[in-house]
Amino acid sequence: MEDDSSLDMARWKGRNSDKDTLRSEVWSLLEERSVSVGSVWSRIPNFIGAEKAAQRLAELQIWRVAKVVKSNPDPPQIPVRLRALQDG
C-alpha cells in the first residue's frame, strides 16, 4: 500500500523529472527535520524559517538587479512578496 506522500507525489510526477526529484527531496527534508507547517506533499509547503529564506533571497545579486519578481500567493511566500514591495 502506498503512503500519502507517494499518492500526493503522483499528482506532479512525470511533468519534469528534475523537478520530480527536487520536490521529493525538499518535501522529505521538511518532514524529516520537522520544520513544515501543515501538510508538505503536493503543494508549496509552509515552513519554519520562511522569513529568513526571504532575507537570504534578497541578499542575492539576481534579486538586487531584478525588475520583476514573481511570487505565488502561498503562505511561505508572503515574506518574499513583502520584501519585494519594500525593495521596490
Query: pLDDT tens across 35-87, in order?
Result: 999 888 888 899 999 999 999 999 999 999 999 999 888 999 999 999 999 99
What 3-state class would DSSP assign to 36?
strand
pLDDT at 10: 63
Cα dihedral 26, 35, 56, 66 sign: positive
pLDDT at 25: 94
Please give the model's pTM, rounded to 2 decimal places: 0.71
From residue 9, give the alpha-carbon distance in Å to each of 1, 33, 35, 37, 68: 15, 19, 19, 18, 30
Segments making up each domain of the chain, as ranges: 1-48, 49-88
